[in-house]
Structure 1
Amino acid sequence: MSVRPLLALTLLSATPVFADTHDAGLSYGPRPAWLIGQMDDGELKTKLQSCLGQTPSRTDFSIGHRGAPLMFPEHTVESNVAAAGMGAGILECDVTFTQDHELVCRHAQNDLATTTDILLTDLADTCVTPFSPASGDTEASAECRTSEITLDQFRTLTPKMDSSDANATTPEDYQGGVAPYRTTTYADGAHLLTHAESIELFRDMEAKFTPELKSASVDMPHDGFTQEDYAQKLVDEYKAADVPASDVWLQSFDLSDIRYWIENEPEFGAQAVYLDDRYEAFDDDEGEIDPMDASTFKPTMQELADMGVNYIAPPLWMLVTSKDGEIVPSVYAEEAKAAGLNMIAWSLERSGPLSDGGGWYYQSIEDVTDNDGVTYELVDALAQDVGVAGIFSDWPATVTFYANCMGL
């Protein structure tokens, strides 16, 4: 089924919250009010409470991270319809490629075992690591890649919530393991997307685009398909759809991809987003990167700007720290701002409940993270003090509400 009829069917069958993706039909749902209710009393809480009756409007400050995967299978039609229905002005398709070098929306080239039903189909034979049951101290495992199947085969798969059961002894059991703060309620009937279909879908919903070029799990070139071919094909699909470069924020963790776009597709390269994961270069012996130590930023922020990079996107915790019980900008954020770099933060509402410090995404402010109301304290610090251009979220209504309330 093509995307346009599929979109129509999806909207007709959606719950009232997501029944219309135009501004007149947008809805925050109950989550923003619930988060505000968890906040400590203060000026910010009072301000947000005053906006509880406001009419939602779409905002580019709110970015759907893989759609709305807190409740919907990521990178599906339904996940993105939900995100658009919550006012996300920009939507994401993480892009990888199939065996026949067609571009599809998946968070990783090798995630099919946890995001689809491939292990329950005949395509399980294509998995580079077949399902292995849990035994003793060894966890269940499998690895299945889009690069091992054609586009036609990819279309036969059924998406599911990203999960796996480490204790599984059968492929059927391995389908479980969904985090308790997520849900399978909206998983049935979800539909996968190619990158080209995501362009059509997002445009139909009046949203803009932030595709991420994912690292390949296979050696490149792959059957003659080079990294440069891969980066160029991503841009070419926007050109073929007559999408203006100003509506597209290309993303990559690989700085060479960013530089390729800057040099070869300057209109698109001007908004290319360098997803900064340089903290991963610090192993246990060297220690984690310190967002308060500018000497750990190599290349420096100014060097990035001199390369033509205009956007940088690190995880939430890299942009903030805590001081005297308050969330404040990190040196990392101050250095980026001084170099004139636009900052985008990822990814809100990916940690689950925040009563125990918030986990990986909140590690630099864990000492002040003790309840879910801290979500809005962090959003406020990122927006007002750090000055980010947008925030990725697994449930975009949260960011949309804040942006509408503050007039962003």
Structure 2
Amino acid sequence: MTRSFLLGGALTALAAPAFSAGHENAADTGLSYGQRPAFLISKMADGPLKDELAACMGQTPARTAFSIGHRGAPLMYPEHTVESNRAAALQGAGILECDVTFTADKELVCRHAQNDLHTTTNIVATDLGAKCTQPFSPAEGDSDARAECRTSDLTLAEFRRLAPTMDAANAAATTPEDYIGGVAPWRTTLYEDDATLMTHAESIALFDSLGADFTPELKGASVDMPFDGFSQADYAQKLIDEYKAAGIDPSRVWAQSFNLDDVLYWIENEPEFGAQAVYLDDRYEAEDADEGLIDPMDAATFKPTMAELKAMGVNYIAPPLWMLVTLDESGEIVPSVYAEEAAAAELGIITWTLERSGPLGGGGGWYFQSVTDAIDRDGDYYEVLDVLAQDVGVVGVFSDWPATVTYYANCKGL
């Protein structure tokens, strides 16, 4: 399946920036790739792709909606902060993400999960740690240190008192202060100082000012729903209402959810937003009563099928990148059956997450599990990205360091 087929018709909406001239002129000043794309190219195996990418070193960076900031630029910045998203925008990301959850007073905030405050903020080392669902418990004997702190444990005013940190925790910690640590060595804490948390509404204003479009993800609740009378439908609707209140054109919003019912709610109740709602497909973990454990490479066993999703009004699907690629008999990276089925149903394909695996010398881990045997160097980020763009035909790629994707998209004219 070729990329030209997938980018026909309505699917070009995601592939091309949807900004006004004012946004582009104001926000694109000072865009920079930084050093990382050149570093990754230097680590590629010799060949035509490396030569082509190297020849683009002198190009002027341009914003592209093919490059999506995954929680901003969390390879080096605390995720879902003002600073992380400013960095992503400066790297040319045309779409930025706020993962959306809610506080005790039902205000929408940007967090990857409702129950991640203990790994992404300093809460356990503050007086607010006592309000956590599971306050900090130190490591002892064979037991790891533990905590579980939810946004729903706090009011919005309390949430604002927290300081963001890089996503990590020290399982061997014996004090709350020691628990805030364990950052992977290929990340950094250099940019943690004075990072700023955001509400969902604040993210809308920020992203708009940066010239970027929006991909909010409605996160599953850690609390039972309805929560104090706040139903799942109320939750899904409030996300959309905040874009309407800000006067954002629906064509600039790609609302996401792993819950298909949320996507179908938007299609039925907010059709302008539902037209480009994104189903984050996690059926690689699903179990079918008749088939047993579903083989993610055998898309025909998925229920609903790709064609059935399309018939429901779903236009975009977003699986992890390993679901879209596999190895052929010669060990080359090629599109998977899943990718071919999605393309045949004319679904726009978005994928996640590039640059989340760190150094690739060990095969790339979870995100590259279907092509591990072909991954042995950092330059393979670009080898996989090229297959995703040119052979699978994805229309957008989430990245923890958007400059990597922006550089590729600019070089290839996507």
TM class, shorter-length: over 0.9
Offset at residue 325 of structure 1 (A):
2.5
Aligned twin of 1:354: 360
Matched, 1:65 2:64: no
- Which stretch has the larger CA shift, 318-327 or 351-360? 318-327
Matched, 1:219 2:224: yes
- 1:375-390 equivalences under 5 Å are 375-390=381-396
Q: Within 2, Cα distance between the matches of 1:288 and 1:181?
A: 35
Given residue 221 of structure 2, which amino acid in structure 1 is its aligned partner?
A
- 1:137-152 equivalences under 5 Å are 137-152=142-157
Matched, 1:185 2:171: no
Q: Within 2, Cα distance between the matches of 1:127 and 1:21?
A: 42
Given residue 151 of structure 1, which amino acid in structure 2 is its aligned partner?
L
Change (3 A) 1:348 1:47: same
Aligned twin of 2:300: 295
Q: Within 2, Cα distance between the matches of 1:309 and 1:360?
A: 27
Given residue 224 of structure 1, which amino acid in structure 2 is its aligned partner?
G
Unaligned runs of 5+ in 2: 1-24
Q: Does the 8 A contact of 2:129 with 2:135 survive in 1?
A: yes
- 1:323-402 equivalences under 5 Å are 323=328, 324-402=330-408
Q: Does the 8 A contact of 1:209 with 1:247 survive in 2?
A: yes
Offset at residue 279 of structure 1 (A):
1.1
* SS of equivalent to 2:370: helix
Matched, 1:204 2:217: no
Q: Does the 8 A contact of 2:27 with 2:209 survive in 1?
A: no
Q: Within 2, Cα distance between the matches of 1:292 and 1:393?
A: 23
* SS of equivalent to 1:317: helix
Q: Within 2, Cα distance between the matches of 1:112 and 1:255?
A: 26
Q: Within 2, Cα distance between the matches of 1:248 and 1:38?
A: 36
Q: Which of 318, 322, 341 is 2:327 aligned to? A: 322
* SS of equivalent to 1:364: coil
Q: Does the 8 A contact of 1:291 with 1:319 survive in 2?
A: no
Offset at residue 122 of structure 1 (A):
1.2
Offset at residue 290 of structure 1 (A):
3.1
Q: Percent identity?
A: 72
TM-score w.r.t. structure 1 length? 0.93
Matched, 1:277 2:282: yes
* SS of equivalent to 1:36: helix
Q: Within 2, Cα distance between the matches of 1:134 and 1:287?
A: 38
Offset at residue 281 of structure 1 (A):
2.0
* SS of equivalent to 1:25: coil
Query: What is the count of residue pairs matched by the alignment?
Result: 387
- Which stretch has the larger CA shift, 395-404 or 145-154? 145-154
**Cα RMSD between the aligned structures?**
1.3
TM-score w.r.t. structure 2 length? 0.92
Q: Does the 8 A contact of 2:78 with 2:166 survive in 1?
A: yes
Aligned twin of 1:34: 39
Q: Within 1, Cα distance between the matches of 2:305 and 2:276?
A: 19
Given residue 260 of structure 1, which amino acid in structure 2 is its aligned partner?
Y
Q: Within 1, Cα distance between the matches of 2:375 and 2:359?
A: 10
Change (3 A) 1:262 1:326: same
* SS of equivalent to 2:140: coil
Q: Does the 8 A contact of 1:74 with 1:162 survive in 2?
A: yes
With a CA cutoff of 8 Å and minimum separation of 6, indicate the structure with the bigger relative contact order: 2
Offset at residue 293 of structure 1 (A):
1.4
Q: Does the 8 A contact of 2:28 with 2:211 survive in 1?
A: no
Q: Within 2, Cα distance between the matches of 1:270 and 1:77?
A: 28
* SS of equivalent to 1:352: coil
Q: Within 2, Cα distance between the matches of 1:22 and 1:56?
A: 12
Q: Within 2, Cα distance between the matches of 1:270 and 1:136?
A: 53
Q: Within 1, Cα distance between the matches of 2:140 and 2:49?
A: 51
Q: Within 1, Cα distance between the matches of 2:124 and 2:158?
A: 13
* SS of equivalent to 1:347: strand
Q: Within 2, Cα distance between the matches of 1:142 and 1:275?
A: 28
Q: Does the 8 A contact of 1:73 with 1:190 survive in 2?
A: yes
* SS of equivalent to 1:81: helix
Matched, 1:407 2:382: no
